[in-house]
Structure 1
Amino acid sequence: MLRTEQHQSARIPLTTGSAARLTHAIGLLAILTLFTSTCTEAQNLGLLEGHADVGNVLHAGNAVYDPANDAYAVTGSGSNLWFTADEMQFAWKRMHGDVALTAEIELVGEKGNNHRKAALMVRQSLDPSSPYVDVARHGDGLTSLQFRLSPGDVTREIETAATAPHWVRIEKRGEFAYVSVGDSREELRFAGASMHLRLSGDFYVGIAVCSHDKDVTETAIFRHLEIQPLSATTRAGRRWSTLETVKVASTDRRVAYTAPERFAAPNWSHDGTSIVFAQGGTLQRFGLDPAPYPSLGVQAAANAHTVPIRIEVAAPLSDAHGFSPDGTQLAVSAMNGGASHIYVLSAYGGTPREVPTDTSAVWTSWSPDGRTLLFTGQQGDQANIYTVPAPGGAETHLPHQQGRNKDADFSADGEWIYFSSDRTGTEQLWRMHPDGSAQEQVLTEAGDDLSPHPSPDGKWLVYIAFPAGRTAPGEQMAELRLLSLSDRKPHLLATLLASSGTIPAPSWSPDSARVAFISYALVQ
């Protein structure tokens, strides 16, 4: 059992201030007093069935329920809730099926490691290396969806854009988990963080604390915990779109912006300070915290919001758009008169000039020298790849085979054009020289591989992989993958609900460290 001195580091905010703060402090003191007094008694765990230290924890943890305040005090130690195995105090209940956990969370005290965590958790077992998913509040306010996909796998995360929300919620619906945050129970709102995880049979749900320092313990208060079984529903959820970025080195993801509507096609600005995406026939610019190379910031700016780019064209824009290599111009596509047209304008907006083509044309890429545009030309059921001078001029139809050849993008050195083609029966990744010669298949996989985009440093190719048997457009389970161009081995970046709008445009950060993409969620 815990020694009472293990709780003496808790800093109770009984300073001068409002009556509400004083009431809060008195309530917190009552909870911690009850916690200390029950360390040697049989414990009431309220909704939960048991608690235990998970992993190689040096200092025993504890959990107690205070019915008068409807609050749990959980104290835990442990070096981390991360990597391939966890160390924490976990208070739990066995469940199966779909479930939602909701609580107000407070980490006690102002000191302690910035990475100490208090979490609402769903995990397969009490084994330290068990698959799990949680929503974790960190000591510095960071709030993330964390998950381990298989036993002994590394932990990955999706950082939300929220800082120290009072209330958090995690829902397991089928094989998806969704996180909501808010400053009150009534203000809980989908945070853009969702992921795919398979749990079988019975599993554990509950509350967890990890001190992120094996030599100390930390305490968190979980107020008004709700554990709600969710019934199956045939009602279609509301579509949310989320602009995310993912680190190539770690595969950790971060939510930049989310909204309950469709948007698509993220494109990083030349200076790394904003991402432009398509929404409702317009282009929106989303500001990021400016940060110098090489660590381009992707945290939303303090007053983050989207700003429309003024484009004076009398037709709704399609998803296709992209910045010129020097960042001064923007290419867009728009439907007009029953056909798609390409336009070029200032990167800051204004009146565009049309780049005439003989076919219905959807822009896909700039050449590295900024002199040439790639586009997909549509003729009936056939789609083929063309080039046209950026200032305007005669288009060139690159050699092709039958079928759909599209999603073309130049390599950074201009030596190759990467594209997708269904000439073998499924969508696969191909490449060719800019004159259409030396066409070769880059990778052979069972499903459909689309939207290949080479990195600015020439080392990687990011693409979206849909499973075999995909028959209809719209959001479907897919994988965002990274192909090493040195050995042609694919690596998983993210599993997500994706569509043609996930990465149709080049979406690398200028330093090749991150990829921007759009994920989708159907939220009940």
Structure 2
Amino acid sequence: MNPAFSQKNKLGIFDGHGDVGKDVKPGSAVFNPKTQEYELSGSGYNIWADHDEFHFLWKKMKGDFIVYTRARFIGKGVDPHRKVGWMVRKNLEGTSAHVNAVVHGDGLTSLQFRKTAGAQTEEIKAKLTHAVVIQLERKGNTYTMRVAKFGEPFVTEEIADLDLGDEVYVGLFLGSHNKDVIEKGVYSDVRISVPAPASLVPYRQYLGSSIELLDVASGKREIIHTSPKSLQAPNWTLDGKSLIYNSEGLIYNFDIAKRTPAVLNTGSVKNNNNDHVLSFDGKMLGLSSGVKELGGSIIWTVPLAGGEPKQITPKGPSYLHGWSPDGKTLVFTGSRDNEYDIYSVPAGGGPEVRLTSAKGLDDGAEYSPDGKHIYFNSNRTGVMQLWRMKADGSEQEPVLNTGEYHDWFPHISPDGKWIVFISFLKEEVKADDHPFYKHVYLRLMPVTGGTPKVIAYVYGGQGTINTPSWSPDSKKIAFISNSGELPVMEAGGK
């Protein structure tokens, strides 16, 4: 084993780092825990032909995985073919079989691979250049590269039947394409996720969760809490100090500064799901909690300080999504006569009013901050799309009807300027479903209309942003990403 790859070089989420190849000018790797960024420096003639020279920051893994980062070079650089990206190698020898998702200094973006030790490297060029977002996924012996300029959807390339063995080295790399030159790069929002196995039983088995905060202007992400349990649907409290989320039927108040969760007292109501919402004044919490004898999910309200909740809807399924700015009305998705529509109900209890009647699923209803409109999602056209209507249910119209994706859960920023929502891929999800553990985008668009921008590329789905998730200053989004347990292995080997 090369001593440069010992466990003493463990860094952040990675097991080790070092130079690959012979007589390579020494590179380095640094992790900044405050920014959660990695900085690599490296040299080497190239990553090409029958052997490689570069600096590698790696984690030893088995099974399937998804790795993600936003990468950029530091400085103008010397050679236009310097390289940053993700790599998977069979071993740490310079001639190892491998696959990498790479962006070159001149913008060339490609999926490169060497099928066997010492073989010639092959390449599939992406249809875009100058990618910033780099994702590489392994599913068996199939490797999928997803790349994008930040804000745009992924462009995908794939290589199948590439056998690197079950146990591999996965990591970030940097090569200068010049053996006498050291180049540098920065890797932000680095994520390693273990996806759900095909055997996972939805709604019975779950992956672990991370609570992330997303800066809307920059797209910068920060993980503030990770759990092996399923955490779902964070609401931001009005004072900006806490997040409210559900897990295993309970509601939690997460102190952002202390990074600690505490169970919120909801009395005897302990089968809570991910459809919960705070009142605009921040004093009350609306819950959706399953009661089998009443037909499923029932809506309740409780003071944010905790207590015994008050039952609002007499029967289920009833899934709460919105509270009117004046505090007087709740809007929810109800199944009545086997049809899911949007209903309103007085916040103190009373008769339901049906607001939608189109065939199909209407869901995710939420008031605009001025109380004039209700935004929701509907698959009445055959594709799940964003809609809005006046608060009385009149003038129902599509907000975004391009139909590229299945769009769910429009959340309006507190300043009333923006809509954030989650988009599922049509090839993965049906129009009436929003399952766990899929490739999803969080997208942003002005309330006045326009082209949506991708602000987060996430492995998640159900529970990611089911509920209003804006910070009170309209600058950040809280959301959930998911991963199975990352393997813990001894570093080493060849």
Q: What is the TM-score of this pair, normalised by structure 1?
A: 0.60
Which residue of the other structure, out of 319, 323, 329, is the alignment partner of 2:274?
A: 319
Cα pair 2:213 2:478 within 8 Å, conserved = yes
CA distance in 2, matches of 1:465, 1:83: 30
Task: Give the 3 Å change call, closer, same or farther, for CA 81–335 of structure 1 in structure 2.
Answer: closer
Q: Which consecutive unaligned segments of at least 5 residues does structure 1 have?
A: 1-23, 25-43, 54-59, 64-71, 75-79, 103-120, 134-147, 158-169, 178-194, 211-216, 221-229, 290-300
- Work out which of the residue numbers 444, 449, 452 in structure 2 matches 1:487: 449
SS at match of 2:481: strand
Cα distance, 1:460 vs structure 2: 0.9
User: 2:217 maps to which residue?
Assistant: 249
Where do 1:172-321 residues align within 5 Å? 174-175=143-144, 207-208=173-174, 239-289=207-257, 301=258, 304-321=259-276
**Distance in 1, Cα, partners of 2:90 & 2:264:** 39
Pick the aligned partner of 1:417 from 350, 370, 374: 374
Alignment of 1:66-85 (within 5 A): 82=72
Counterpart for residue 499 of structure 1: 461
1:361 pairs, out of 288, 309, 318, with 318
Structure 1 residues 61 and 426, CA gap change in structure 2 (3 angstroms): closer
User: How far apart, CA to CA, are the structure 1 residues paired with 2:229 and 2:212?
Assistant: 15
Q: Which amino acid aligns with 1:371?
A: K
Query: Does structure 2 retain, via aligned residues, the 8 Å contact 1:62–1:89?
Result: no
Count of residue pairs the alignment pairs up: 373
Alpha-carbon distance between aligned partners in 1 of 2:172 and 2:419, rounded to the nearest angstrom: 40
Which residue, out of 355, 379, 382, partners 2:339?
382
Does structure 1 conserve the Cα–Cα contact (< 8 Å) formed by 2:410 and 2:420? yes
The residue aligned with 2:102 is: 124
Q: Aligned letter for 2:443?
A: R
CA distance in 2 between partners of 1:101 and 1:510 (Å): 48
Letter in 1 for 2:474: S
TM-aligned CA distance change 1:234 to 1:397, over 3 Å: closer
Which of 425, 431, 436 aligns to 2:393? It is 436
The alpha-carbon deviation at position 359 of structure 1 amounts to 5.0
Task: Judge conservation of contact 2:214–2:476 (CA < 8 Å) in 1.
Answer: yes
In structure 1, C-alpha distance between the alignment counterparts of 2:20 and 2:437, rounded to whole Å: 40
Q: 1:490 to 1:85 in 2, by over 3 A?
A: farther
Asked if structure 2 preserves the Cα contact closer than 8 Å seen for 1:85 and 1:128, the reply is: no
| TM-score, scaled relative to structure 2 | 0.64
Supply the AA of the counterpart residue of 1:453.
H
- The secondary structure found in structure 1 opposite 2:211 is strand
Give secondary structure in 2 for the equivalent of 1:438.
Answer: coil
In structure 1, give the amino acid aligned to 2:312.
V
Cα 1:436/1:50, change in 2 over 3 Å: same
Identity among equivalent positions (%) equals 30
Higher relative CO (Cα under 8 Å, sequence separation at least 6) belongs to: 2
Given the alignment, which residue of 342, 352, 361 partners 2:299?
342
- Contact residue 250 and residue 270 of structure 2 kept, 8 A: no
Instruction: Report the residue type matching 1:268 in the other structure.
Output: W
Deviations 1:246-269 (A, max 9, x none): 111111211121222212111101
Q: Please give the alpha-carbon distance, in whole angstroms, between the structure 2 residues aligned to 1:128 and 1:512.
A: 36
Check 1:330–1:61 CA distance in 2 against 1; reply closer, same or farther (3 A cut).
closer
Q: Give, in whole Å, the separation in 2 of the partners of 1:272 and 1:450.
A: 25
Q: Is it true that 1:467 corresponds to 2:425 in the alignment?
A: yes
Give the structure with higher Rg (CA).
1
Distance 2:324 2:108 in 1: 47
Residue in 2 that maps onto 1:192: none
AA matched with 1:270: L
Query: What SS is found at the alignment partner of 2:365?
Result: strand
Q: Is 2:414 the counterpart of 1:456?
A: yes
Secondary structure at the aligned position of 1:271 is classed as coil
Letter in 1 for 2:413: S
Per the TM alignment, residue 458 of structure 1 is displaced from its structure 2 partner at its CA by: 1.0
Equivalent position amino acid for 2:281 in 1: D
Q: In 2, Cα distance between the equivalents of 1:365 and 1:101?
A: 53
Shift of 1:238: 7.8
Q: Using the alignment, how far apart are the partners of 2:370 and 2:26 within structure 1?
A: 56
Do the aligned residues in 1 keep the contact of 2:374 with 2:389 (CA within 8 Å)? Answer: yes
How far off its partner does 1:450 sit?
0.8
**Quick one: which amino acid aligns to residue 282 of structure 2?**
G
Asked if the contact 2:267–2:307 (Cα under 8 Å) also holds between the matched residues in 1, the reply is yes
CA distance in 2 between partners of 1:388 and 1:421 (Å): 20
Partner Cα separation in structure 2 for residue 475 and residue 85 of structure 1: 37
Taking the aligned partners of 1:101 and 1:507, their CA distance within structure 2 comes to 43
8 Å CA contact 2:233–2:466 kept in 1: the answer is yes
- Cα distance 1:124–1:394, how it changes in 2: closer, same or farther (>3 A)? same
CA contact 1:124–1:132 (8 Å) conserved in 2: yes
Which residue does 2:95 correspond to in 1?
Answer: none
Alpha-carbon RMSD: 4.6
Q: Secondary structure at the match of 1:124?
A: strand
Distance 1:98 1:433, change over 3 A: same
Q: 2: distance between equivalents of 1:85 and 1:379?
A: 61
Q: Which moved more, 1:487-496 or 1:464-473?
A: 464-473
